[in-house]
Structure 1
């Protein structure tokens, strides 16, 4: 007999009453489950080499690929992500990050998110870093 159990859905609130809607994110995401915390991912390949030096689009694509791999290692995926935090050396890179994100998340029910401009990341060639919080739901 096939397992028909589905995990309980996440609850997304795009704009609570009295709060302006965000651009591509939910203000609130809630659910029940076990936390999965993914450290900030940067545009490094499996050998630790920078991918896409000077190219925010290439770096964002690699960052989201790294996030996908990390989430899979914990037995979850982007559908389980409740929060993304972006650290960018220049907020002008945000459109590239959003484009990469939109290939992985349900844009009708996006996770909560925060974007922060920082003066530098761990290596000067890196333009962005993204961390994720997810819920493993049963």
Structure 2
């Protein structure tokens, strides 16, 4: 797949396998004037309590909502995300629900990495998403 440019962002994809997962292998963007770095966001409520124990898809959805909340508080949106890292205690389960992440971050398709981990900080948490955003 060729390199393409959209709204000042150059999407670099030497192949196309990643497009089905909704991310680019690399993006070249103009330097942002503001940079937001987000700590890992999981399926927790405002008091830090785990929500949706045992339901990886619901945990993914709430983790993305929590990332989106931080973005909005910084005057940004999901389209401003430059990089995602998804930490998973069960990579296969997260891959089965990964379409939700791809759908929510489309059409920005930020470069993303899925990392398998033994456990996360909150017992019962199955997925945690870190993001870097810029505008």
**TM-score w.r.t. length of structure 1:** 0.81
User: What is the number of residues matched between the two proteins?
Assistant: 125
Deviations 1:17-41 (CA, angstroms, capped at 9, x unpaired): xx56424310111212122111110
Q: How does 1:1-138 map to 2 (within 5 A)?
A: 9-13=8-12, 15-16=13-14, 21-22=17-18, 23-31=21-29, 32-33=31-32, 34-107=34-107, 109-136=108-135
Q: In structure 2, how many angstroms separate the alpha carbons of the residues matched to 1:60 and 1:73?
A: 20
Q: In structure 1, how many angstroms separate the alpha carbons of the residues matched to 2:81 and 2:113?
A: 13
Deviations 1:69-125 (CA, angstroms, capped at 9, x unpaired): 011111111111111101000112223542321342114x41100011000100221
What SS class does the counterpart of residue 44 from structure 1 fall into? coil
1:37–1:97 distance in 2 versus 1, CA, 3 Å: farther
Aligned-residue Cα RMSD (Å) equals 1.8
Larger radius of gyration: 1
- Which sits farther off after the overlay, 125-134 or 30-39? 30-39
Paired residues of 2:80 and 2:134 also in contact (CA < 8 A):
yes
Q: Unpaired segments of 5 or more residues in structure 1?
A: 1-7
Q: In structure 1, how many angstroms separate the alpha carbons of the residues matched to 2:46 and 2:72?
A: 16
Q: In structure 2, how many angstroms separate the alpha carbons of the residues matched to 1:97 and 1:69?
A: 21
